[in-house]
Amino acid sequence: MIAKTTKDQAIFPGHLGEPKNIKVSFAHFLEISFIEAERSADLIDRANESALLYNEFALETFRLERIAQAAHAYERAQKGMAGICEGCEKPIPSERLEWNPDATRCVKCQEEYEKIGRSRQV
């Protein structure tokens, strides 16, 4: 906070400065602030761009996984294994197949499969 004492002086907390130095300091402060604002904007823009790219990558990965799962389910159907769990070889409940027609595992076996996959990723 600047408190003006006279037309030619200004006092900063704990510092007495002359107008010329204050103007130069303030101009320098504005210049640095502008540069830092540009850097911040650049960083924010890059962060936003990275987040968008990550989301696009995640969506594309999900899409490709769904296509691969559908192809796998189709192959199993061609072999007469549609509706049979890959894990326990028991029939997959019809409710699950209604919800996810490409399912090749019952819920229990799918959870185990995903748990194993996550432990390998760690």
88 lies in some domain: yes
**Which residue range forms the structural domain that includes residue 116?**
83-122
pLDDT tens digits for range 21-62: 545 566 666 677 767 777 777 778 888 888 888 999 999 999
96 lies in some domain: yes
Paired tokens of 94: 């019809």
Confidence at residue 2, expressed as pLDDT on a 0 to 100 scale: 47
pLDDT tens digits for range 53-102: 899 999 999 999 999 999 999 999 999 999 999 999 999 999 999 999 99
112/34 Cα distance (integer angstroms): 54
99 lies in some domain: yes
Cβ-Cβ contacts under 8 Å for 3 (sequence gap 6 or more): 10, 11
101 lies in some domain: yes
66 lies in some domain: no
pLDDT at 107 over 80: yes
Coil vs helix vs strand at 89: coil
Count up the domains in the chain and report the number. Answer: 1
10 lies in some domain: no
27 lies in some domain: no
